[in-house]
Amino acid sequence: MAPSPTLFVFLLLVLQLIICNAAMRLPKFTALLIFGDSTVDSGNNNYLNTLAKGNHPPYGRDFPGHIATGRFSNGKLVPDMVASKLGIKDAIPPFLQPDLSDEELLTGVCFASGGSGLDDLTAAAAGVIPVSKQLSYLKMYVERLKRLVGEQEAQSIISGALVVISAGTNDFALNFYDLPTRKFQFNINEYQDFLLNNLQNFVQKVYNMGCRKMVVAGLPPIGCLPIQMTLKARVLQRTCLHHQNLDSKLYNQKLAEDLIPRWTRSLPGSLIIYADVYNPLSDMINHPQKYGFRETGRGCCGTGLAEVGPFCSPLSLVCHNTSLFLFWDGIHPTELAYSYLAQTILKQIIGSRSASTDHFSK
């Protein structure tokens, strides 16, 4: 028996309500502005004189068009996925892209640089853009916006944008654990505070330029990155480095429980969200079967033990099925792993929005 017209109309109305409710749950942002390191760099390093690049195969193997864009993964990154889910655009372009269109500029860009960190010394070692200097590109971005849409509209875009900051892993891995440059100057607690002070100064300056809504990512379990296990663990006993993970957890605790609440109180009209990446990644590592992963201790590219950047090359052997791997290379997750992180971060954004709706509606 065919459904009655009345039943059909009822079902259609129910479907429309479901769609509307889902849309209402998502906060509205004018643009996404991305700062940090290779976890969020969509290709700025392509235009720098550095070896820290992902603009060659097999990087980008699963990106639309199978293009190596400079993203350090087999596909898209978390900012791309967040932008797509929020209905802003499908991918975030790098600010240094020479042919960056006005339309792309209006909805947000990426200032991040692979190999960068909150410590300027970290970026200097790799010949990339330190997080502190990424602020100068934000200033250039704002000036270009003003020429394009006028000062008032430009300020409206900036105040309505979602800022994402993801940095710190390289500082510990490159400057403290693997090359103990800063270890001669700081103990681990002092270095954490040094980096967090730099992050605080950066957040203050971004706020002073008109940004009000920010997501600040914590550290991952650094001791579980394939390259860290290879460099520090015994060859036949590659396991997560407990002390490095404890350092990450302490850093995250200082950031989430002390600094971010303090920033929110001291910066009127701001909403600053802590993005927990440590626990979701730890869960993927400890319970891979929940996510369909079979390999969490090495990357898909090459041996997967340490290759990254130029060492994950067109000549490298690559795993057949990336969906079985948590990591793409010796440091960076696969697109699938990033998608799980993006889901978690979106939930955190939505949760913060429901707790403070006015910040997102202004």
Residue-wise pLDDT tens digits, 86-122: 999 999 999 999 999 999 999 999 999 999 999 999 9
- Check pLDDT > 90 for residue 188: yes
Per-residue confidence (pLDDT) for residue 24, from 0 to 100: 43
Q: How confident is the model at residue 180 (pLDDT cuts 50, 70, 90)?
A: confident
Residue 220 has pLDDT above 80, yes or no: yes
How far apart are the C-alpha atoms of 82 and 48, rounded to whole Å? 26
The ranges assigned to domains in the chain are 30-279+338-361
Judge whether 329 counts as a catalytic residue: yes
Q: Is 38 a catalytic residue?
A: yes
pLDDT in tens, 252-299: 999 999 999 999 999 999 999 999 999 999 999 999 999 999 999 999
Is it the case that residue 5 has pLDDT exceeding 60?
no
The residue ranking higher by pLDDT, 64 or 4, is 64
Q: At what angle do helices 278-286 and 242-253 cross, to 10 degrees?
A: 150
Contact 68, 118 (CB under 8 A): no
Which residue of the set 38, 73, 116, 352 is catalytic?
A: 38
| Mean per-residue pLDDT, 63-86 | 97
DSSP string, 216-232: EE----GGGSHHHHHHH
User: Is 243 annotated in the active site?
Assistant: no
Token couple for 133: 């200097």
Whole-number pLDDT of residue 27? 72
Q: Which of 37, 41, 329, 352 is catalytic?
A: 329
Q: Is 34 helix (H, G, I), strand (E, B) or coil?
A: strand
Q: In this predicted model, what pLDDT tens digit does every residue of 286-341 receive, in sequence order?
A: 999 999 999 999 999 999 999 999 999 999 999 999 999 999 999 999 999 999 99
pTM above 0.85, yes or no: yes
Distance CA 298, CA 306 (A): 8
pLDDT for 170 beyond 80 = yes
Name the residue with higher pLDDT: 287 or 181: 287
C-alpha distances in Å from residue 262, one per residue of 50, 275, 278:
37, 16, 22
Crossing angle for the helix pair 131-149 and 151-160, to the nearest 10 degrees: 140
CATH class of segment(s) 30-279+338-361: alpha beta
Question: Over pLDDT 70: what percentage of the chain?
Answer: 89
β-pair partners for 214: 163, 272
Res 348 pLDDT > 50: yes
